[in-house]
Amino acid sequence: MRLRKAWTMVHKAVVDSSTEPFVKANGGETAYGMYGRKLEMNEMMQKAMSGMSVPFMTAILEGYDGFKGVERLVDVGGDAGD
């Protein structure tokens, strides 16, 4: 429910980008703050991000020649390391 509530604020974020829609819709709490409190939401987010990032990265690695010869590539920004 809290994620859906943020969608009602997306139009305001276009006009005022100083605060993300989730924060505006949920009394100042960030999405990641909620994920820290609600383990089931954190797990769902991890699965969603992993489900999106793996196919994209696979396509990039297969289609981009700039990584030829690279034996190890580290994703420093990732959360779960998938």
R_g over Cα of the chain: 17
Residue 74: count of CB within 10 angstroms of its CB: 7
Phi, psi of 72 (to 5 degrees): -140, 130
User: What would the mean pLDDT of 59-72 be, rounded to a whole number?
Assistant: 87
For 9-51, write each residue's pLDDT tens digit.
888 888 888 878 889 888 899 988 998 999 998 998 888 887 7
Whole-structure pTM value = 0.55
Q: How far is CA 56 from CA 53, 60, 70, 72, 81, in A?
A: 5, 6, 18, 18, 15
Question: What residue spans define the domains of the chain?
Answer: 2-65
| DSSP characters over 12-62 | HHHH-TTS-HHHHHTTT--HHHHHHH-HHHHHHHHHHHHHHHHHHHHHHHH
- pLDDT for residue 80: 54
